[in-house]
Amino acid sequence: MRAIYPGSFDPATEGHLDIARRGAELFDELVVAIGVNPSKVGRFPVIDRVRVLTSALRDLSNVSVATFSGLLEMYCRDNDVDVIIRGIRNKMDLRHEVPMAHMNRHLSGIDSLFLPTSAKTGFISSTVVMGT
């Protein structure tokens, strides 16, 4: 099965890498996909985010790094993705993620799998890392 782990990864944190590594163990293939919103300026250029993820995950032969814009469910359909992975740190994440998972499943039939973050990375966020 092919899974996708979508996110902004702006920047990627140890928490993201932990979820990616664990996702790679669960599925035959994992695409770590950076969602690009052309109308939003990120903290880091997308090319740098791709480089960081590619380098950090280079030892995992079943992991690739990609970018997408537009709807995630369309990217999943176009790329034969079976499952969407998202990391969950706390109740706030869950409240945010459940409606997105419902919408993605409604639009494409693709289910989401929520992986709880590891205890040692559960407090990390890109925002906290950057202090902004």
| 6 touches ligand PNS (CB under 6 A) | yes
| 8 touches ligand PNS (CB under 6 A) | yes
Is 16 annotated as catalytic? Answer: yes
Q: Which of 103, 113, 124, 129 binds ligand PNS (CB under 6 A)?
A: 103
Note whether 4 and 74 are within 8 A (CB).
Answer: no
Q: Strands 63-68 and 2-7: what pairing? A: unpaired
Q: Which of 12, 24, 63, 72 binds ligand PNS (CB under 6 A)?
A: 72
| 46 touches ligand PNS (CB under 6 A) | no
Q: Cα-Cα-Cα-Cα dihedral of 66, 70, 71, 73, to 10°?
A: -40
| Chain centre distance of CA 17 | 10
Q: Cα-Cα-Cα-Cα dihedral of 45, 16, 54, 49, to 10°?
A: 0
Is 40 annotated as catalytic? Answer: yes
The one segment of 22-30, 44-52, 99-107, 111-119 that binds ligand PNS by CB under 6 A: 99-107
Q: Which residues bind ligand PNS (CB under 6 A)?
A: 6-8, 35, 71-72, 100, 103-104
